[in-house]
Structure 1
Amino acid sequence: MKAAFHLATLPWIAALAAAPLAARAQDEPPFEVTLDMDSDGRMDRAAIAADPDSGLADLLIYLAAGEGKLDPARKPDFVKKALTEDRILGLESSGKGSLVITSCFGCGASKSTEETLTVVYRRGKFLVGGYSRSWDWGEQEADGTVETTLGGCDINYLTGKATVSKDLEAGRPIKGKFKPVPLKDWSYEKRPNACEF
Protein backbone atom coordinates (compact mmCIF):
# COMPACT_ATOMS: atom_id res chain seq x y z
CA MET A 1 0.00 0.00 0.00
CA LYS A 2 1.32 3.40 -0.83
CA ALA A 3 1.93 6.00 1.89
CA ALA A 4 -0.71 8.24 0.30
CA PHE A 5 -3.37 5.68 1.19
CA HIS A 6 -2.31 5.78 4.84
CA LEU A 7 -2.59 9.58 4.86
CA ALA A 8 -6.00 9.47 3.19
CA THR A 9 -7.33 7.06 5.80
CA LEU A 10 -6.09 8.96 8.86
CA PRO A 11 -9.19 11.19 9.23
CA TRP A 12 -11.49 8.16 8.85
CA ILE A 13 -9.53 6.14 11.42
CA ALA A 14 -9.48 9.06 13.87
CA ALA A 15 -13.25 9.50 13.51
CA LEU A 16 -13.82 5.80 14.07
CA ALA A 17 -11.63 5.79 17.17
CA ALA A 18 -13.42 8.84 18.56
CA ALA A 19 -16.91 7.41 18.05
CA PRO A 20 -18.43 6.75 21.48
CA LEU A 21 -19.05 3.09 22.24
CA ALA A 22 -22.38 4.00 23.81
CA ALA A 23 -23.59 5.02 20.36
CA ARG A 24 -23.47 1.38 19.31
CA ALA A 25 -26.33 -0.91 20.19
CA GLN A 26 -25.55 -2.89 23.34
CA ASP A 27 -26.67 -6.24 21.93
CA GLU A 28 -25.02 -6.02 18.50
CA PRO A 29 -21.36 -6.60 17.68
CA PRO A 30 -19.61 -3.54 16.22
CA PHE A 31 -18.92 -5.40 12.96
CA GLU A 32 -21.55 -7.58 11.31
CA VAL A 33 -22.43 -8.42 7.70
CA THR A 34 -24.91 -10.64 5.86
CA LEU A 35 -23.95 -12.60 2.75
CA ASP A 36 -24.60 -15.98 1.14
CA MET A 37 -21.32 -17.72 1.94
CA ASP A 38 -22.45 -21.28 1.19
CA SER A 39 -24.33 -20.36 -2.03
CA ASP A 40 -27.59 -22.01 -0.91
CA GLY A 41 -29.75 -18.97 -1.67
CA ARG A 42 -30.18 -18.07 2.02
CA MET A 43 -28.34 -15.23 3.68
CA ASP A 44 -25.72 -16.07 6.29
CA ARG A 45 -24.36 -13.77 8.96
CA ALA A 46 -20.79 -13.06 10.07
CA ALA A 47 -19.81 -10.98 13.07
CA ILE A 48 -16.69 -9.90 14.90
CA ALA A 49 -16.91 -9.87 18.68
CA ALA A 50 -14.26 -9.24 21.32
CA ASP A 51 -13.56 -12.22 23.54
CA PRO A 52 -14.49 -11.11 27.08
CA ASP A 53 -11.43 -12.79 28.60
CA SER A 54 -8.63 -12.02 26.14
CA GLY A 55 -10.08 -8.96 24.37
CA LEU A 56 -8.97 -10.48 21.04
CA ALA A 57 -11.26 -10.45 18.00
CA ASP A 58 -13.32 -13.62 17.44
CA LEU A 59 -15.08 -14.34 14.14
CA LEU A 60 -18.57 -15.84 14.44
CA ILE A 61 -20.42 -17.27 11.42
CA TYR A 62 -24.12 -18.19 11.44
CA LEU A 63 -25.42 -20.08 8.41
CA ALA A 64 -28.96 -19.28 7.19
CA ALA A 65 -29.33 -16.56 9.84
CA GLY A 66 -28.99 -13.42 7.77
CA GLU A 67 -32.62 -12.30 7.73
CA GLY A 68 -33.99 -10.17 10.56
CA LYS A 69 -32.64 -9.97 14.08
CA LEU A 70 -30.43 -12.80 15.28
CA ASP A 71 -31.81 -14.90 18.12
CA PRO A 72 -29.40 -14.24 21.03
CA ALA A 73 -29.75 -17.88 22.14
CA ARG A 74 -28.51 -19.20 18.80
CA LYS A 75 -24.99 -20.57 18.80
CA PRO A 76 -22.76 -19.81 15.80
CA ASP A 77 -22.12 -22.56 13.24
CA PHE A 78 -18.44 -21.64 13.18
CA VAL A 79 -16.16 -19.73 15.58
CA LYS A 80 -12.57 -18.69 14.93
CA LYS A 81 -11.16 -17.60 18.28
CA ALA A 82 -8.44 -14.95 18.41
CA LEU A 83 -8.62 -14.20 14.69
CA THR A 84 -6.26 -11.27 15.18
CA GLU A 85 -4.63 -9.23 17.92
CA ASP A 86 -4.87 -6.15 15.71
CA ARG A 87 -7.67 -3.60 15.56
CA ILE A 88 -10.52 -4.55 13.23
CA LEU A 89 -11.26 -1.85 10.65
CA GLY A 90 -13.89 -3.58 8.55
CA LEU A 91 -15.95 -6.65 7.85
CA GLU A 92 -17.65 -6.85 4.46
CA SER A 93 -18.81 -9.10 1.67
CA SER A 94 -16.92 -9.14 -1.62
CA GLY A 95 -20.23 -9.68 -3.42
CA LYS A 96 -19.35 -13.26 -4.41
CA GLY A 97 -19.93 -14.95 -1.07
CA SER A 98 -16.47 -14.08 0.23
CA LEU A 99 -16.00 -12.46 3.61
CA VAL A 100 -13.32 -9.77 3.83
CA ILE A 101 -11.84 -8.79 7.21
CA THR A 102 -9.50 -5.79 7.44
CA SER A 103 -7.38 -5.06 10.49
CA CYS A 104 -4.49 -2.77 11.36
CA PHE A 105 -1.68 -2.34 13.83
CA GLY A 106 -0.65 1.26 14.42
CA CYS A 107 -3.48 2.34 12.13
CA GLY A 108 -1.68 5.13 10.24
CA ALA A 109 0.97 5.88 12.88
CA SER A 110 4.67 6.00 12.03
CA LYS A 111 4.78 2.23 12.61
CA SER A 112 1.75 0.60 11.06
CA THR A 113 0.60 -2.46 9.17
CA GLU A 114 -2.73 -3.31 7.55
CA GLU A 115 -3.95 -6.83 6.82
CA THR A 116 -6.86 -8.19 4.83
CA LEU A 117 -8.07 -11.76 5.22
CA THR A 118 -10.55 -13.20 2.70
CA VAL A 119 -12.66 -16.13 3.91
CA VAL A 120 -14.55 -18.42 1.51
CA TYR A 121 -16.78 -21.48 1.92
CA ARG A 122 -15.87 -24.45 -0.27
CA ARG A 123 -17.01 -28.09 -0.04
CA GLY A 124 -18.44 -27.64 3.43
CA LYS A 125 -15.40 -25.86 4.91
CA PHE A 126 -14.47 -22.29 5.72
CA LEU A 127 -11.11 -21.52 4.10
CA VAL A 128 -8.67 -18.64 3.89
CA GLY A 129 -8.86 -17.79 0.21
CA GLY A 130 -6.71 -14.68 0.31
CA TYR A 131 -4.38 -12.66 2.50
CA SER A 132 -2.72 -9.31 1.97
CA ARG A 133 -0.51 -7.21 4.17
CA SER A 134 1.01 -3.76 3.76
CA TRP A 135 3.46 -1.96 5.97
CA ASP A 136 4.70 1.58 6.50
CA TRP A 137 7.26 1.22 9.26
CA GLY A 138 9.43 4.10 10.49
CA GLU A 139 12.47 3.46 12.71
CA GLN A 140 14.24 6.37 14.35
CA GLU A 141 18.01 6.17 13.91
CA ALA A 142 20.63 7.31 16.44
CA ASP A 143 21.29 10.47 14.40
CA GLY A 144 17.61 11.47 14.60
CA THR A 145 16.67 10.53 11.05
CA VAL A 146 13.84 8.12 10.35
CA GLU A 147 14.34 5.05 8.17
CA THR A 148 11.02 4.11 6.58
CA THR A 149 10.24 0.66 5.21
CA LEU A 150 7.30 0.42 2.81
CA GLY A 151 5.95 -2.70 1.18
CA GLY A 152 3.22 -5.25 0.84
CA CYS A 153 2.27 -8.76 -0.15
CA ASP A 154 -0.83 -10.24 -1.72
CA ILE A 155 -1.59 -13.97 -1.70
CA ASN A 156 -4.44 -15.59 -3.59
CA TYR A 157 -4.70 -19.05 -2.07
CA LEU A 158 -7.43 -20.01 -4.56
CA THR A 159 -5.23 -19.46 -7.62
CA GLY A 160 -1.98 -20.34 -5.84
CA LYS A 161 -0.32 -17.08 -6.89
CA ALA A 162 1.23 -14.32 -4.79
CA THR A 163 3.13 -11.05 -5.19
CA VAL A 164 5.35 -8.90 -2.99
CA SER A 165 6.56 -5.32 -3.31
CA LYS A 166 9.20 -3.32 -1.48
CA ASP A 167 9.19 0.45 -1.19
CA LEU A 168 7.00 1.75 -4.04
CA GLU A 169 8.07 -0.77 -6.68
CA ALA A 170 5.57 -2.85 -8.61
CA GLY A 171 4.68 -6.23 -7.15
CA ARG A 172 6.73 -9.22 -8.27
CA PRO A 173 5.70 -12.89 -8.03
CA ILE A 174 6.55 -14.92 -4.94
CA LYS A 175 7.93 -18.33 -5.87
CA GLY A 176 5.99 -21.36 -4.73
CA LYS A 177 2.41 -22.60 -4.73
CA PHE A 178 -0.15 -21.51 -2.18
CA LYS A 179 -3.16 -23.63 -1.25
CA PRO A 180 -6.25 -22.59 0.72
CA VAL A 181 -5.80 -22.91 4.48
CA PRO A 182 -8.69 -24.17 6.64
CA LEU A 183 -9.87 -21.15 8.64
CA LYS A 184 -9.84 -23.22 11.83
CA ASP A 185 -6.07 -23.71 11.36
CA TRP A 186 -5.24 -20.16 10.26
CA SER A 187 -2.73 -18.07 12.16
CA TYR A 188 -0.56 -15.26 10.94
CA GLU A 189 2.46 -17.54 11.32
CA LYS A 190 1.13 -19.27 8.16
CA ARG A 191 1.86 -16.25 5.99
CA PRO A 192 4.96 -16.60 3.78
CA ASN A 193 8.28 -15.04 4.76
CA ALA A 194 7.85 -12.54 1.91
CA CYS A 195 5.07 -10.90 3.95
CA GLU A 196 7.55 -10.01 6.70
CA PHE A 197 9.70 -6.90 6.64
Structure 2
Amino acid sequence: MTTALHHAAWLVALAAMPVPALAGDKPAFELSLDIDQDGTMDRAVVMQDDGPAELYVYLGTGAEKPGPSRKPDFVRKALTEDRIIDLEAKGKGSLAITSCFGCGASKSTEETLTVVYRHGQFMVGGYSRSWDWGNRTSDDTVDTIQGDCDINYLTGKGTVSKDLEESRPIKGNFKPVLLKDWSYERRPKVCDFLAGWTSD
Protein backbone atom coordinates (compact mmCIF):
# COMPACT_ATOMS: atom_id res chain seq x y z
CA MET A 1 0.00 0.00 0.00
CA THR A 2 1.17 3.57 -0.50
CA THR A 3 2.51 5.62 2.39
CA ALA A 4 -0.58 7.84 2.42
CA LEU A 5 -2.93 4.87 2.53
CA HIS A 6 -0.79 3.19 5.17
CA HIS A 7 -0.92 6.25 7.44
CA ALA A 8 -4.63 6.76 6.84
CA ALA A 9 -5.38 3.17 7.79
CA TRP A 10 -3.76 3.36 11.19
CA LEU A 11 -5.18 6.80 11.93
CA VAL A 12 -8.71 5.51 11.33
CA ALA A 13 -8.02 2.41 13.41
CA LEU A 14 -6.58 4.41 16.31
CA ALA A 15 -9.75 6.50 16.37
CA ALA A 16 -11.69 3.39 17.39
CA MET A 17 -11.05 3.36 21.13
CA PRO A 18 -10.80 0.02 22.93
CA VAL A 19 -14.00 -1.17 24.59
CA PRO A 20 -14.20 -2.43 28.16
CA ALA A 21 -12.82 -5.92 28.67
CA LEU A 22 -14.97 -8.82 29.78
CA ALA A 23 -13.04 -8.99 33.01
CA GLY A 24 -10.17 -7.07 34.58
CA ASP A 25 -8.72 -3.74 33.52
CA LYS A 26 -6.84 -4.65 30.33
CA PRO A 27 -7.90 -2.69 27.22
CA ALA A 28 -9.78 -4.85 24.77
CA PHE A 29 -11.24 -5.00 21.31
CA GLU A 30 -14.17 -7.32 20.83
CA LEU A 31 -16.77 -8.13 18.21
CA SER A 32 -19.41 -10.69 17.29
CA LEU A 33 -19.09 -12.89 14.22
CA ASP A 34 -20.00 -16.40 13.16
CA ILE A 35 -16.43 -17.66 13.00
CA ASP A 36 -17.37 -21.35 12.91
CA GLN A 37 -20.19 -20.70 10.40
CA ASP A 38 -22.82 -22.71 12.27
CA GLY A 39 -25.48 -19.99 12.12
CA THR A 40 -24.95 -18.81 15.73
CA MET A 41 -22.91 -15.74 16.59
CA ASP A 42 -19.62 -16.12 18.41
CA ARG A 43 -17.47 -13.51 20.14
CA ALA A 44 -13.79 -12.67 19.68
CA VAL A 45 -11.90 -10.60 22.25
CA VAL A 46 -8.34 -9.30 22.05
CA MET A 47 -6.88 -8.02 25.30
CA GLN A 48 -3.60 -6.15 25.65
CA ASP A 49 -1.96 -3.96 28.25
CA ASP A 50 1.75 -3.10 27.92
CA GLY A 51 2.73 -6.55 26.72
CA PRO A 52 1.77 -9.11 24.10
CA ALA A 53 -1.85 -9.32 22.95
CA GLU A 54 -4.10 -12.24 23.89
CA LEU A 55 -6.96 -13.61 21.79
CA TYR A 56 -10.05 -15.21 23.36
CA VAL A 57 -12.82 -16.81 21.32
CA TYR A 58 -16.24 -17.73 22.77
CA LEU A 59 -18.33 -19.96 20.54
CA GLY A 60 -22.12 -19.98 20.47
CA THR A 61 -22.65 -16.86 22.56
CA GLY A 62 -25.51 -15.58 20.43
CA ALA A 63 -26.38 -11.93 20.98
CA GLU A 64 -25.28 -11.97 24.62
CA LYS A 65 -21.82 -11.22 25.92
CA PRO A 66 -20.41 -14.15 27.88
CA GLY A 67 -20.36 -13.62 31.63
CA PRO A 68 -17.16 -13.64 33.69
CA SER A 69 -17.72 -17.29 34.64
CA ARG A 70 -17.75 -18.41 30.99
CA LYS A 71 -14.48 -19.96 29.93
CA PRO A 72 -13.32 -19.20 26.38
CA ASP A 73 -13.37 -22.01 23.85
CA PHE A 74 -10.01 -20.92 22.47
CA VAL A 75 -7.15 -18.87 23.89
CA ARG A 76 -4.02 -17.70 22.08
CA LYS A 77 -1.61 -15.82 24.29
CA ALA A 78 1.40 -13.89 22.97
CA LEU A 79 -0.43 -13.32 19.68
CA THR A 80 1.75 -10.30 18.88
CA GLU A 81 3.85 -7.77 20.75
CA ASP A 82 2.77 -4.99 18.38
CA ARG A 83 -0.09 -2.68 19.31
CA ILE A 84 -3.52 -3.99 18.30
CA ILE A 85 -5.46 -1.29 16.46
CA ASP A 86 -8.45 -3.08 14.94
CA LEU A 87 -10.60 -6.21 14.77
CA GLU A 88 -12.81 -6.80 11.76
CA ALA A 89 -15.13 -9.59 10.66
CA LYS A 90 -14.51 -10.64 7.08
CA GLY A 91 -16.29 -12.99 4.70
CA LYS A 92 -16.89 -16.67 5.49
CA GLY A 93 -16.46 -16.14 9.21
CA SER A 94 -12.87 -14.89 9.08
CA LEU A 95 -11.47 -12.56 11.72
CA ALA A 96 -8.88 -9.92 10.75
CA ILE A 97 -6.61 -8.71 13.58
CA THR A 98 -4.57 -5.63 12.71
CA SER A 99 -1.57 -4.37 14.66
CA CYS A 100 1.12 -1.79 14.14
CA PHE A 101 4.68 -1.09 15.23
CA GLY A 102 5.72 2.55 15.16
CA CYS A 103 2.20 3.39 14.01
CA GLY A 104 3.07 6.06 11.47
CA ALA A 105 6.50 7.02 12.79
CA SER A 106 9.58 7.12 10.55
CA LYS A 107 10.01 3.42 11.24
CA SER A 108 6.64 1.69 11.14
CA THR A 109 4.97 -1.51 10.06
CA GLU A 110 1.37 -2.67 9.98
CA GLU A 111 0.27 -6.31 10.00
CA THR A 112 -3.04 -8.09 9.59
CA LEU A 113 -3.48 -11.68 10.70
CA THR A 114 -6.60 -13.35 9.34
CA VAL A 115 -7.98 -16.13 11.55
CA VAL A 116 -10.39 -18.77 10.24
CA TYR A 117 -12.08 -21.84 11.72
CA ARG A 118 -11.75 -24.91 9.54
CA HIS A 119 -12.21 -28.61 10.33
CA GLY A 120 -12.62 -27.89 14.04
CA GLN A 121 -9.37 -25.88 14.26
CA PHE A 122 -8.50 -22.21 14.45
CA MET A 123 -6.05 -21.48 11.66
CA VAL A 124 -4.13 -18.61 10.08
CA GLY A 125 -5.86 -18.14 6.74
CA GLY A 126 -4.02 -14.99 5.72
CA TYR A 127 -1.19 -12.64 6.63
CA SER A 128 -0.36 -9.21 5.25
CA ARG A 129 2.28 -6.69 6.18
CA SER A 130 3.20 -3.20 4.99
CA TRP A 131 6.27 -1.20 5.90
CA ASP A 132 7.58 2.35 5.72
CA TRP A 133 11.01 2.18 7.27
CA GLY A 134 13.65 4.91 7.39
CA ASN A 135 17.24 4.13 8.29
CA ARG A 136 19.92 6.75 8.95
CA THR A 137 23.16 5.90 7.15
CA SER A 138 26.76 6.70 8.04
CA ASP A 139 26.73 9.87 5.89
CA ASP A 140 23.73 11.16 7.91
CA THR A 141 21.17 10.67 5.17
CA VAL A 142 18.01 8.60 5.51
CA ASP A 143 17.21 5.68 3.28
CA THR A 144 13.57 4.64 3.29
CA ILE A 145 12.20 1.31 2.18
CA GLN A 146 8.51 0.82 1.53
CA GLY A 147 6.43 -2.11 0.46
CA ASP A 148 3.95 -4.79 1.41
CA CYS A 149 3.27 -8.49 1.23
CA ASP A 150 -0.05 -10.33 1.20
CA ILE A 151 -0.27 -14.09 1.77
CA ASN A 152 -3.48 -16.06 1.33
CA TYR A 153 -2.88 -19.41 3.01
CA LEU A 154 -6.28 -20.70 1.90
CA THR A 155 -5.56 -20.29 -1.81
CA GLY A 156 -1.82 -20.93 -1.44
CA LYS A 157 -0.95 -17.69 -3.22
CA GLY A 158 0.77 -14.45 -2.28
CA THR A 159 1.96 -11.11 -3.64
CA VAL A 160 4.69 -8.63 -2.75
CA SER A 161 5.41 -5.02 -3.64
CA LYS A 162 8.54 -2.98 -2.93
CA ASP A 163 9.18 0.75 -3.26
CA LEU A 164 5.62 1.39 -4.48
CA GLU A 165 5.97 -0.90 -7.48
CA GLU A 166 2.98 -2.93 -8.62
CA SER A 167 2.35 -6.10 -6.68
CA ARG A 168 3.80 -9.27 -8.20
CA PRO A 169 3.11 -12.92 -7.36
CA ILE A 170 5.35 -14.72 -4.91
CA LYS A 171 6.66 -18.10 -5.93
CA GLY A 172 5.68 -20.82 -3.50
CA ASN A 173 2.74 -22.79 -2.19
CA PHE A 174 1.49 -21.49 1.13
CA LYS A 175 -0.59 -23.70 3.41
CA PRO A 176 -2.75 -22.79 6.44
CA VAL A 177 -1.00 -22.83 9.81
CA LEU A 178 -2.67 -23.79 13.07
CA LEU A 179 -3.12 -20.59 15.07
CA LYS A 180 -1.70 -22.25 18.18
CA ASP A 181 1.51 -22.92 16.23
CA TRP A 182 1.74 -19.53 14.52
CA SER A 183 4.75 -17.31 15.05
CA TYR A 184 6.06 -14.49 12.94
CA GLU A 185 9.14 -16.57 12.22
CA ARG A 186 6.83 -18.65 10.00
CA ARG A 187 5.98 -15.79 7.68
CA PRO A 188 7.61 -15.85 4.22
CA LYS A 189 11.08 -14.32 3.99
CA VAL A 190 9.80 -11.79 1.49
CA CYS A 191 7.79 -10.21 4.32
CA ASP A 192 10.95 -9.76 6.43
CA PHE A 193 12.03 -6.62 4.65
CA LEU A 194 14.91 -5.89 7.05
CA ALA A 195 16.59 -9.23 6.38
CA GLY A 196 18.29 -7.82 3.31
CA TRP A 197 18.93 -4.36 4.74
CA THR A 198 22.44 -3.03 4.19
CA SER A 199 23.90 0.40 4.82
CA ASP A 200 27.42 1.83 4.64
Give the TM-score, by structure 2 length: 0.88
* Counterpart residue type for residue 35 of structure 1: L
- In the TM superposition, residue 153 of structure 1 has moved relative to its aligned partner by 0.5
Aligned residue pairs total 190
Which aligned segments of 4 or more residues in structure 1 are displaced greater than 3 angstroms?
Answer: 9-16, 24-29
Q: Does 1:25 align with 2:20?
A: yes
Task: Specify the alignment match of 1:47 in structure 2.
Answer: 45
Q: Does 1:155 align with 2:173?
A: no
After superposing the two structures, state which structure 1 stretch, 68-77 or 113-122, moved more.
Answer: 68-77
Q: Does 1:186 align with 2:195?
A: no
- In the TM superposition, residue 176 of structure 1 has moved relative to its aligned partner by 1.0
Q: Does 1:84 align with 2:80?
A: yes
* Counterpart residue type for residue 36 of structure 2: D
After superposing the two structures, state which structure 1 stretch, 59-68 or 96-105, moved more.
Answer: 59-68
* Counterpart residue type for residue 162 of structure 2: K
Alignment partners' CA distance in 1, 2:9 and 2:159: 24
* Counterpart residue type for residue 138 of structure 1: G
Task: Specify the alignment match of 2:100 in structure 1.
Answer: 104
**In 2, are the aligned partners of 1:13 and 1:107 still within 8 Å (CA)?**
no
Alignment partners' CA distance in 2, 1:4 and 1:188: 26
The aligned runs of 1:111-126 (5 Å cut-off) are: 111-126=107-122
Per-residue CA shift, 1:37-72, capped at 9, x if unaligned? 111111000000127xx7210000010014223211
The aligned runs of 1:63-82 (5 Å cut-off) are: 63-82=59-78
**In 2, are the aligned partners of 1:9 and 1:108 still within 8 Å (CA)?**
no
* Counterpart residue type for residue 167 of structure 1: D
Q: SS where residue 194 of structure 1 aligns?
A: helix
Task: Specify the alignment match of 2:53 in structure 1.
Answer: 57
Point out where structure 2 has 5 or more consecutive residues left out of the alignment: 194-200
Give the TM-score, by structure 1 length: 0.89
RMSD: 2.0
**In 2, are the aligned partners of 1:163 and 1:172 still within 8 Å (CA)?**
yes
Quote the sequence identity (%). 65
Alignment partners' CA distance in 1, 2:159 and 2:148: 8
Alignment partners' CA distance in 2, 1:139 and 1:43: 46
Match of 1:131 among 83, 103, 127: 127
**In 2, are the aligned partners of 1:35 and 1:66 still within 8 Å (CA)?**
no
Task: Specify the alignment match of 2:6 in structure 1.
Answer: 6
- In the TM superposition, residue 10 of structure 1 has moved relative to its aligned partner by 6.2
- In the TM superposition, residue 155 of structure 1 has moved relative to its aligned partner by 0.3
